Chain A
Amino acid sequence: MISDIWLVVVKEYREVLLRQGGRRANIFNMVLIFAVFGVFMPLQTGEWWVQQPWTPIFWAWLPLFLVSALVADSFAGERERHTLETLLTTRLSDKAILFGKIAAAVIYGYGILLAVMVVSLVTINIAFATPHRLLFYRADVTLAVIVFGFLITFMVTVIGVMISLKATTVRQAGQALSLGILALLFFPGLIFGYLYRVLPGDVQTQLLDFIEHLEPGVVLLTVALVFTALDAIFLAVAMKRFKRSRLIDE
């Protein structure tokens, strides 16, 4: 099973990353990502880059855009290029195919996220560290990035794969996915803002007070648990939807 999943992952990379529009374009993109997020921005920000607690928010959206190309292509691409049915005639199980597609995007997006984190740390140290004092991210921030980076990458990937499963073309899948990502990024804030405004004045103050006194660790843990639960639900839905007979039937 693991080797079947890995087989699909490698196939995805060869097909979508190494060959699409020429390998050069992708290498260029990669270099650009590392240059901007691994070198330029840390240099601009200075030491503060590793000290401030808002880094997780900055990092969180990076994999979203990284995975979206792979994920939009996952099934819509096979359908568009007429390879889906043949893939389905193989011995590979439904799970191996689905998990292979998901793993390809998660490993790619999350892997680059972690790599950029390391590269930017190296940059910061080369530029600002003294022999007596190496610079490092705050431990809580590091943990948050590692945990949330994965949970969010996973969630967007699974949602994207489901969109791609339904879409007839890669283009359609890509557009739907971009809208989805925007919604994911802005809706929670908008909804919170709206609810906040319609609340009576004294409740507003109470709410602010409550938020101010929250234990950051507890908040992060709660959010992580919620995300984990959502990830599990989305994965279950995707597994239920990915049935061979359904893919040919429509």
Chain B
Amino acid sequence: MTEIAISTHSLTRDFPSVRAVDSLDLEIPAGVVFGFLGPNGSGKTTTVRLLLGLLEPTSGRAEVLGHDVSLEPQAVRAATGALMEHSGLYERLTAQENLEFFGRAAGMSRVDVKARIQELLDPLDLLERRGEQVGTWSRGMKQKLAVARSLMHRPRVVFLDEPTAGLDPVAAAGLRDDLARLVAEEGVTVFVNTHHLADAERLCHQVGVVRDGRLLAVGRPDELRTATGGRRLEIAGHGLGGDVLSAVRDATGVLEVRLENSRLVLDLDQDVRTPDIVRIVIDRGGEIEEVRRGAETLEEAFMNLLEASDDDI
């Protein structure tokens, strides 16, 4: 049986004017990188605060590493790391002083703190600059340092609230690579809030999509992509016009076909099989380079989900 690192049971949090988290049920196995995906104001930050015991749930409960977050919040915080909306670094202190403070605050020994600083900062290219005041650093450097800080005491679970927010695309991609490497090396369970689908695609084994505090879907990124875009088929290649196009259009279950830049884009009934369509194309002399079923990107899948939830209302 796999160990469950984070679980919530009908977790709900009300604010005077809004229900920020609405009967959330999650079960996240240890070692998994879980992406919590949702638009602004969907309750991602509130969920993390609840899981860290920084806010009291209105109803329901949650457990992190077997500790109930309302009953043993300190045990939860001791075993977890967090990078919240702000980097939370002391800008007047040096990078080293920051890591020392948080390491010691987590109960690490001086010797251990020193070794760990070396271990974390070296691959991030920050070791040489550890004596500089953090306030003088670029946002990208600060964010890398904040990630290191959240992992300082080797937590078993780490919460990251939009770690790439405010970074330019290059810095964001760099941070994603660093995160992916750290997560793999440390074997830590990660709960990452984001509305950057690139974060989710690059990092996450599992994603949950949330909207207005409600969970819309959970699954692997590729599962979500197919589940939400399963009626779409794209075929790239040569000679797909004319004969091929009209034959495909006449095939059963094909709702719509169009040719975009020498790609066939089809909308299908859910039960149409990809090989049947491919056979029609080949029979008519089409040459196929690539076939893809499902939404093109997680982004598209995400938008599809949000649109579907709009339809429900």
Contacts and interface: CB of A to CB of B under 8 A. Distances in A.
Contacts of A7: 101, 104-105
B86 A15 contact: no
Contacts of A15: 90, 92-93
A4 B105 contact: yes
Contact of A87 (B73, B78, B85, B88): B88
Interface string B17-48: 00000000000000000000000000000000
Contacts of B84: 85-86, 89
Nearest to B83: A86
Interface in A11-53: 11, 14-15, 19-20
Contacts of B81: 89
B55 A83 contact: no
B53 interface: yes
B215 interface: no
B86 A86 contact: yes
B78 A245 contact: no
A88 B80 CA distance: 12
A85 B54 contact: yes
A183 B133 CA distance: 39
B89 interface: yes
B266 interface: no
A92 B74 CA distance: 8
Nearest to B104: A7
Nearest to B86: A82
B56 interface: yes
Contacts of B80: 89
Interface string B92-117: 11000100011011110000000000
Nearest to A4: B105
Contacts of B97: 14
A88 B54 contact: yes
A245 B106 contact: no
Contacts of A88: 54
A4 B55 CA distance: 23
| Chain B residues touching A, range | 20 to 34
A81 interface: yes
A248 B107 contact: no
Nearest to B91: A81
Nearest to B73: A244
B121 interface: no
A91 B54 contact: no
Residue of A89, A245, A248 contacting most chain B CB atoms (<10 Å): A89
B77 A91 contact: yes
A90 interface: yes
Interface in B156-215: 159
A245 B55 CA distance: 5
B55 A91 contact: no
A11 B83 CA distance: 20
A202 interface: no
Nearest to A3: B104
B52 interface: yes
B67 interface: no
Given A83-B86, A85-B86, A86-B84, A248 B105 contact: no
Given A14-B97, A85-B84, A90 B105 contact: yes
B305 interface: no
A80 to B, nearest CB: 11
Nearest to A90: B105
Given A11-B101, A92-B105, A19 B92 contact: yes
A226 to B, nearest CB: 36
A245 B54 contact: yes
Interface string B237-278: 000000000000000000000000000000000000000000
Given A83-B86, A245-B54, 16 more contacts: A11-B93, A14-B93, A81-B90, A81-B91, A83-B88, A85-B86, A86-B87, A86-B89, A89-B81, A90-B77, A90-B105, A91-B78, A244-B53, A245-B53, A248-B54, A248-B55
Interface of B: 49, 52-56, 73-74, 77-78, 80-93, 97, 101-102, 104-107, 133, 159
22 contacts: A11-B90, A11-B93, A14-B97, A20-B92, A82-B86, A82-B88, A83-B86, A83-B90, A85-B84, A86-B83, A86-B86, A86-B88, A87-B88, A89-B54, A89-B82, A89-B84, A90-B77, A91-B105, A91-B106, A91-B107, A248-B49, A248-B54
Q: Which 7 A-B pairs have the closest CB atoms?
A: A86-B88, A82-B86, A19-B92, A89-B82, A91-B78, A90-B105, A85-B84
